C-alpha cells in the first residue's frame, strides 16, 4: 500500500486515520447490512500523473492529497468488489514530455485500468495521444482547450473549459458589477488561453468593452508598469488571469481601485499568501470555498480537514472526484472489464464534490455556469458570495 513519494510521517498519519475511518464506518453500519470491510486481495491499479514538482506544483500537490484521501476512503469501504485500489502517482515535473513518458510506463508497463491527470493543458494533450488509441479512460483535472480534444471521447475533464471560465468571469462583470469598461492583466501562458476565450465570447456580452489588455511573462516578478497602464485606461472592473500572486500585488500598489475578478487558476492558499495586501476585494469564480462549503461539499471538507489539518480547495476536491468516478465505473462493470467498457460507463452524469458533470456532453465535461461558486477574498480570507449564475 506504500506509494511512491509518501513520507514516513504521512504514512503513519494515513494509517492512524485509516484505522479511525474503518472504526467510524463500522460503528455506523446499520444492523442487517454487511459490515464495511477493509478491502483485501490483489489491488486494482489506477494510474495518476500530476505536476508534483516544477512551476505547476501548486496544482499537482493539492490534487495528490485529494486522490490519496479518496483512495483511503474507497479501500476502507470495501474497495471495488472487495479488492482494494492502488493509485500509482507519478510526477511529470510540469513537463509534457515527461508526462508522456510516464503515461507510457503506466499504461503499458503497469497496465493500469484508468488514468487520472495530468494537471496541466499541454500535458493532457500529450498523454492523450497515448490513452486515446487504446480507449483507456482518462480523467483530467484541467479544462478542455482545443477542438481535437472533443475527438478523444474517453478523456473526460473535471475542470471547466477556458470558454466556460471566460463566461463565468464575464457573468460577474456584466451582471453583478454592471461593468461597461473592463481592463485585463494576464500572463502569457494560462492567461493567453483564457484571454482568447474571452475575446471569442465577447460578442455575447455587447455592453462590455475591453478597454485595455496588458500582458506579462509567466515568471515575472514585477508587473507594476503594466498595472499602471491598466489603471490609466480607467476601467470599471479588472480581470486578472494568472497563476501567481504578483499581478494582485501590483494592482494594489498602483492604487487601481476598480474591483478585481480573478480566474480560478489564481485560487490557492499559496497564491493568496503571495498576494499579500492584494488579496482584498478580489472575486473568484470557482467551485469550492472550504471556509463556507455548500451542503453537499461539507462532508468532504470535514474529512479533508481531519486528515490534513488544512482546508481544501478546488484541486483537492477534483482529485477526490476523479477517484470516486473511476471507482464507480469499476464497481459497475468490474475490474476485469476492457478499458473501452469502463470508458463507456463513465459517459453519463456524475455528481461530485466539486460540481455536477455530464460526460455525455460534447465538451466531455458537462459543467454548467450555475455550478460556479463565487468567492471573495477579504483581507486574505476567502468568503463565499451569494451571487450565482441563474440556471
Partner 1 sequence: MNRRVLFAIAILVWAVLPMVLPRHFTDLLVFAAIYSVAGLGVGLLLGHCGIVTLAQSAFYAIGAYASAIVTVNLKLPMIVGVAAGLVTSGVIALALGWPVLRLRGYFLAVATLALAMIASALFFEWDWLTGGTIGLGGIPKLGAFGVVLDTPQSFYYAAWITAALSMILVHNLVSGRTGLAMRSMRDAIDAARVLAIDIHSLRVQMFVLCAMLGSLSGSLFAHYTGYVSVASFSIDKAILFLLIPVIGGAGSIAGIIVGALFITFVPEVLSKIGDFHGIVFGLALVIVVIAAPHGIVGTVERWWHNRRSGVSPTAEARR
Partner 2 sequence: MTLSLVAQAVLSGVTNGVIYALIGMGLAVIFKGSRAINAAQGEFSLIGAVASVFAMKAAGFSYPAAFAVGALAGAATGVLIDLLLVRPMIRRRAQEDAFLLLTIGIAFAISAAVLFFAGRDYFTLPSIGSDGVAILFDATIRYHAIWVIVITALIVIALRAFYRKTNIGLSMMAASIDADGASTTGINVDLMRTATYGMGGLLGALAGLLVAPLVPISFYMGLVFTLKGFCAAMIGGLTNPMGAIVGGLMLGLLESLAIVFIASAYKDVVALTVLIVIMILVPHGILGRAGRAGG
First to last CA, the chain: 44
> Where do runs of H (alpha helix) occur along the chain?
8-28, 57-76, 96-104, 121-131, 148-151, 162-171, 190-201, 224-232, 246-253, 269-275, 298-308, 314-333, 339-346
Write down the least CB distance from residue 249 to partner 2, Å. Answer: 8
Write down the least CB distance from residue 257 to partner 2, Å. Answer: 13
Closer to partner 2 by CB, 10 or 45: give it: 10
Q: Which of 61, 137, 183, 339 binds partner 2 (CB under 8 A)?
A: 61
Q: Which of 37, 38, 224, 281 binds partner 2 (CB under 8 A)?
A: 224
Distances (CA, A) of 116 to 30, 45, 178: 34, 11, 39
Q: Is 274 helix (H, G, I), strand (E, B) or coil?
A: helix
Closer to partner 1 by CB, 38 or 192: give it: 192
Long-range contacts of 150-154 (CB under 8 A, 24+ apart): 150/362, 150/363, 150/364, 152/128, 152/364, 153/343, 153/347, 153/364, 154/339, 154/340, 154/343, 154/346
Going by the DSSP 8-state scheme, the letter that residue 84 receives in this structure is P
Q: Is 240 helix (H, G, I), strand (E, B) or coil?
A: strand
| d(C-alpha 60, C-alpha 52), whole Å | 5
The site map against partner 2 for 246-275 (x = CB under 8 A) is x--x---xxx--------------xx-xx-
Spatial contact of 377 and 385, defined as CB atoms under 8 Å apart: no
User: Does residue 261 belong to the site contacting partner 1 (CB under 8 A)?
Assistant: no
User: Does residue 13 belong to the site contacting partner 2 (CB under 8 A)?
Assistant: no
Q: Which of 1, 19, 20, 129 binds partner 1 (CB under 8 A)?
A: 129
| d(C-alpha 275, C-alpha 273), whole Å | 5
User: Does residue 11 belong to the site contacting partner 2 (CB under 8 A)?
Assistant: no
DSSP 246-262: HHHHHHHHTT--S-EEE
User: Does residue 55 belong to the site contacting partner 2 (CB under 8 A)?
Assistant: yes
Closer to partner 1 by CB, 95 or 314: give it: 95
Tell me the helix, strand and coil percentages in the chain, rounded to 5. Answer: 45, 15, 35
User: Does residue 122 belong to the site contacting partner 1 (CB under 8 A)?
Assistant: yes
Find the binding residues for partner 1 in span 267-306 (CB under 8 A). Answer: none
Find the binding residues for partner 1 in span 188-217 (CB under 8 A). Answer: 188-190, 192-193, 196, 215, 217
Write down the least CB distance from residue 379 to partner 1, Å. Answer: 32
Q: Catalog residues that contact partner 2 under the rule CB under 8 A.
A: 53-55, 57-58, 61, 188, 214-217, 219, 221-222, 224-226, 228-229, 232, 245-246, 249, 253-255, 270-271, 273-274, 276-277
Q: Catalog residues that contact partner 1 under the rule CB under 8 A.
A: 4-5, 52-53, 90-91, 93-98, 100-101, 104-105, 108-109, 120-123, 125-126, 129, 145-146, 148, 188-190, 192-193, 196, 215, 217-218
Amino acid at each position: 500500500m506504500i506509494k511512491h513519494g509518501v513520507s514516513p510521517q504521512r504514512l503513519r498519519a494515513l494509517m492512524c486515520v485509516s484505522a479511525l475511518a474503518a472504526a467510524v464506518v463500522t460503528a455506523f453500519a446499520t444492523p442487517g447490512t454487511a459490515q464495511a470491510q477493509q478491502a483485501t486481495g490483489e489491488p486494482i491499479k489506477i494510474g495518476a500523473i500530476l505536476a508534483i514538482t516544477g512551476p505547476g506544483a501548486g496544482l499537482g500537490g493539492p490534487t495528490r492529497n485529494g486522490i490519496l484521501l479518496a483512495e483511503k476512503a474507497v479501500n476502507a469501504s470495501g474497495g471495488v468488489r472487495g479488492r482494494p485500489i492502488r493509485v500509482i502517482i507519478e510526477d511529470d515535473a510540469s513537463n509534457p514530455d515527461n508526462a508522456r513518458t510516464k503515461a507510457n510506463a503506466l499504461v503499458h508497463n503497469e497496465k493500469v485500468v484508468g488514468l487520472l491527470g495530468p494537471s496541466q493543458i499541454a500535458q493532457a494533450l500529450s498523454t492523450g495521444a497515448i490513452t486515446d488509441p487504446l480507449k483507456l479512460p482518462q480523467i483530467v483535472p484541467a479544462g478542455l482547450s482545443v477542438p481535437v480534444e472533443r475527438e478523444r471521447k474517453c478523456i473526460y475533464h473535471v475542470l471547466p473549459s477556458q470558454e466556460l471560465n471566460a463566461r463565468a468571469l464575464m457573468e460577474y462583470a456584466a451582471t453583478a458589477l454592471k461593468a461597461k469598461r473592463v481592463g485585463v492583466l494576464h500572463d502569457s501562458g494560462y492567461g493567453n488561453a483564457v484571454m482568447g476565450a474571452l475575446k471569442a465570447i465577447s460578442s455575447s456580452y455587447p455592453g462590455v468593452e475591453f478597454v485595455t489588455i496588458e500582458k506579462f511573462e509567466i515568471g515575472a516578478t514585477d508587473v507594476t508598469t503594466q498595472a499602471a497602464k491598466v489603471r490609466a485606461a480607467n476601467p470599471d472592473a479588472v480581470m486578472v488571469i494568472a497563476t501567481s500572486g504578483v499581478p494582485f500585488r501590483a494592482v494594489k500598489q498602483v492604487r487601481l481601485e476598480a474591483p478585481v475578478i480573478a480566474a480560478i487558476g489564481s485560487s490557492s492558499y499559496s497564491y493568496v499568501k503571495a498576494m499579500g495586501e492584494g488579496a482584498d476585494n478580489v472575486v473568484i469564480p470557482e467551485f469550492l470555498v472550504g471556509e463556507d462549503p455548500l451542503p453537499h461539499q461539507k462532508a468532504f471538507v470535514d474529512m479533508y480537514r481531519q486528515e490534513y489539518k488544512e482546508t481544501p480547495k478546488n484541486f483537492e476536491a477534483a482529485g477526490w472526484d476523479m477517484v470516486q468516478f473511476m471507482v464507480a465505473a469499476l464497481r459497475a462493470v468490474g475490474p476485469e472489464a476492457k478499458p473501452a467498457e469502463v470508458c463507456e460507463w463513465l459517459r453519463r452524469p456524475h455528481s461530485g464534490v466539486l460540481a455536477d458533470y455530464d460526460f455525455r456532453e460534447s465538451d466531455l465535461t458537462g459543467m454548467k455556469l450555475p455550478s460556479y461558486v463565487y468567492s471573495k477574498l477579504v483581507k486574505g480570507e476567502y468568503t463565499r458570495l451569494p451571487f450565482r449564475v441563474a440556471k
